[in-house]
Amino acid sequence: MKALNDVSFTVNDGQILGLIGQNGAGKSTTFHSILNFLKYQGKITWNDQVINETVFDKIGYLPEERSLMPKLTIQQQIIYLARLKNKSAKEIRPQIDLWLKRFAVKGVEKDKIKDLSKGNQQKVQLICTLIHHPKLIILDEPFSGLDPVNADLLKQAILTAKAEGAAIIFSSHDMENVEELCDKLVMLRDGQVVLKGTVHDVRQSFGRIRITVTTDWSQEQLQLLPHVIKVERQEEKRYILSLDDEDAGSEIFDQLTQGKYIEEFSQQPPTLNEIFRLKVGEAHE
């Protein structure tokens, strides 16, 4: 059985790619293949060079499984991993406090890893991933377990690394993060690519089949409109209509407004979250 089948994509310097898919779709296997943890058939290169120990120093990798050493202090842990990237303690030590403040870590350099909360341990591991300013960054579910405030800190770190020219790949189950941060995305299902392209192009390829409307019409009345296949109530008087034909939008607009003012009517492509559910649903049909 193949874990991956003809998976192919390109990430340029200064670009962020989101790798999405259900659990077991092949995201972590893709990362492990890129990093040469697994034997594979095919070709994986970075800047036209095969990825091996000669370029590992320029790579930052955050695994899905957190793997810090609990008995070490924050400082010892960061320096230990940085030295594996050929960075000296003298070079890294002065940066640690700045990174702890940047990620709002609740702890000081001499605190042991085991005494930190899981969230702060995760932030320390993120620092270990980024402190040597890698040129290729691979983050496997980096937002997992982070509250919105800490997720925003990570987003800023990712965008800073992008501005510095790093090529970044991250996996996430949160499509809002992918839509907000990524230039491109690849969706895997059962080890195969089922969607690939810029976020804008992927969304546009599904057509403008999503209408957001605020109206006095009831959900039952909206369901009877032409080409409406689904109505979801967002809040009082606000609904999302799913269409089977984007060209029906103008007719629906005319029926709802009848030439009068309407507070909200927006026809857009589906969100990535809706596309994700749609493509996952296809696999079970």
Residue 283: what pLDDT? 55
Residues whose CB falls within 8 Å of the CB of residue 46, separated by 6 or more in sequence, listed in order: 55, 136, 167
CA angle 94, 96, 102 (to 5 degrees): 125
User: 95: burial class by Cβ within 10 Å (0-12, 13-18, 19+)?
Assistant: middle
pLDDT per residue over 238-267, tens digit each?
A: 999 999 999 999 999 999 999 999 999 999
On average, the pLDDT of the chain sits at: 92
Phi, psi (degrees; rounded to nearest 5) at 223: -65, -25
Q: What is the pTM of this model?
A: 0.86
User: For strand 238-243 and strand 210-214, is the pairing parallel, antiparallel, or unpaired?
Assistant: antiparallel
The third-level CATH classification (topology) of the domain covering 207-268 is Alpha-Beta Plaits (3.30.70)
Topology agreement, domain 16-198 and domain 207-268: no
pLDDT per residue over 87-112, tens digit each?
A: 999 999 999 999 999 999 998 999 99
pLDDT per residue over 123-152, tens digit each?
A: 999 999 999 999 999 999 999 878 899 999
Q: Please, are residues 255 and 225 in contact by the beta-carbon 8 Å criterion?
A: yes
DSSP 121-176: HHHHHHHHHHTT--SEEEEESTTTT--HHHHHHHHHHHHHHHHTT-EEEEE-S-HH
pLDDT per residue over 12-28, tens digit each?
A: 999 999 999 988 889 99
Residue 45: what pLDDT? 87
CATH class of 16-198: alpha beta
More confident residue, 282 or 177: 177
* 211 vs 267: CA distance, rounded Å: 4
Per-domain boundaries in the chain? 16-198, 207-268
